[in-house]
């Protein structure tokens, strides 16, 4: 818990967006779209709330953060660098042989990463295990999980949703990055999910829907999660895939495509980097 102000968090998110563009550009691969959509929530969580120690990343009683949509790793790496878990030079190792920044977040490779993801639909169950462990330990630590809106099409998500409510896991907190796009296309074309908040409600969760790019709303929602103690809580962030870079915004092509040299230059100038 570092207690950063709203404007500080916004500035952190801007810097992270720059790194996301640079990392994917350097690797000429990776997933900028879902990294840019999740980044405001990630910055708020790390900068405002998460109890974790960059100088002791394996501290037993830390809150856990599980990026279940593990392809959006550039966002996570950028935040870990801002928070001091890894260095800014480490970001250059994204998708490079031997690098701490593996293609998908990997707990065996990168300090501060709590789960090796990359296969969708696994993180919520893992988070549930972390929550139960905290309860047995008598610890107040939380498990936070971030999933994508395409990811919640996986059946395993709903197995975990049902089980977490059954076990009244008040220390399990979920974010859904609702950017409306998955791999091939818009979610609307691939698999309509109808009323997402109603589904989580029906599964027994406390539900809040927010603008996932409005820093004050995100911070309040994270505080609200702390007030829910008798059941799992989910914050559904309405986001824009590729947020912050005009040609990536709401564009399915930038789910898994890197910016070219020219595109990087445009992106950086839009993000306030002076040439």
* Nearest alpha carbon to residue 163 among 191, 136, 124: 124
Tell me which DSSP letter residue 63 carries.
Answer: P
User: Taking the CB of residue 192, how many other CB atoms lie within 10 A of it?
Assistant: 8
Q: Counting contacts by CB under 8 A, is residue 70 touching another protein?
A: yes
Nearest Cα to Cα of residue 68 among 20, 132, 143, 122: 122
Say whether residue 121 binds ligand TPP (CB under 6 A): yes
- Show the beta-strand stretches assigned E in 54-135: 64-67
Nearest to Mg ion of 134, 146 (CB atom): 146
Distance CA 62, CA 204 (A): 26
Query: What does residue 210 show for φ and ψ, rounded to 5 degrees?
Result: -135, 170
Q: Which does 72 bind (CB under 5 to 8 A by kind): another protein, ligand TPP, Mg ion, none?
A: ligand TPP
CA atoms of 262 and 35, how far apart (whole Å) = 20
Q: Report how far Cα 29 is from the mean position of its chain's Cα atoms.
A: 19
191 binds another protein (CB under 8 A): yes
Q: Per CB under 6 A, does 119 bind ligand TPP?
A: yes
Among the listed residues 123, 150, 244, 259, the single contact to Mg ion using CB under 5 A? 150
- In the complex, minimum distance from the CB of residue 193 to another protein, in angstroms, rounded to a whole number: 8
230 part of the interface to another protein, by CB under 8 A: no
Considering the complex, what minimum distance in angstroms separates the CB of residue 121 from another protein?
A: 7
Is 79 an interacting residue with respect to another protein (CB under 8 A)? no
Coil, helix or strand for 227? helix
- Whose Cβ is closer to ligand TPP: residue 49's or residue 255's? 255
The CA distance from 67 to 147, in Å, is: 7
Residue 104 near another protein by CB under 8 A: yes
Site string for ligand TPP, 65-104 (x = CB under 6 A): ----x-xx--------------------------------
Binding site for another protein (CB under 8 A): 27, 29, 70, 95-99, 102-104, 106, 109, 116-121, 150-151, 153-155, 182-184, 189-191
């Amino acid at each position: 818990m570092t207690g950063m102000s709203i404007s500080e968090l916004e500035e952190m998110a801007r810097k992270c967006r720059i790194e996301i563009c640079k990392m994917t550009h350097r690797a000429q691969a990776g997933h900028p779209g879902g990294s840019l959509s999740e980044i405001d929530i990630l910055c708020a969580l790390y900068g405002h709330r998460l109890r974790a120690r960059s100088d002791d990343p394996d501290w037993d009683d830390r809150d856990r953060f599980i990026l279940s949509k593990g392809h959006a790793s550039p966002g996570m790496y950028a935040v870990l660098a801002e928070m001091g878990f890894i260095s800014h030079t480490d970001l250059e190792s994204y998708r490079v042989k031997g690098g701490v920044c593996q293609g998908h977040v990997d707990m065996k490779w990168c300090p501060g990463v709590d789960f090796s993801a990359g296969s969708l639909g696994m993180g919520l169950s893992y988070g549930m295990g972390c929550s139960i462990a905290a309860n047995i330990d008598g610890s107040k630590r939380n498990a936070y999980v971030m999933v994508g809106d395409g990811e919640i099409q996986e059946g395993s998500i709903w197995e975990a949703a049902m089980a977490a409510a059954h076990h009244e896991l008040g220390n399990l907190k979920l974010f859904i990055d609702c950017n409306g796009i998955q791999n091939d296309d818009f979610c609307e074309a691939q698999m309509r999910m109808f009323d997402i908040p109603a589904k989580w409600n029906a599964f027994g969760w406390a539900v809040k829907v927010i603008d996932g790019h409005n820093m004050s709303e995100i911070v309040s929602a994270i505080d609200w999660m702390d007030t829910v103690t008798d059941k799992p809580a989910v914050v559904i962030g309405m986001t824009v895939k590729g947020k912050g870079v005009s040609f990536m915004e709401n564009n399915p092509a930038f789910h898994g495509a890197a910016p070219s040299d020219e595109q990087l230059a445009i992106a950086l100038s839009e993000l306030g980097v002076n040439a």
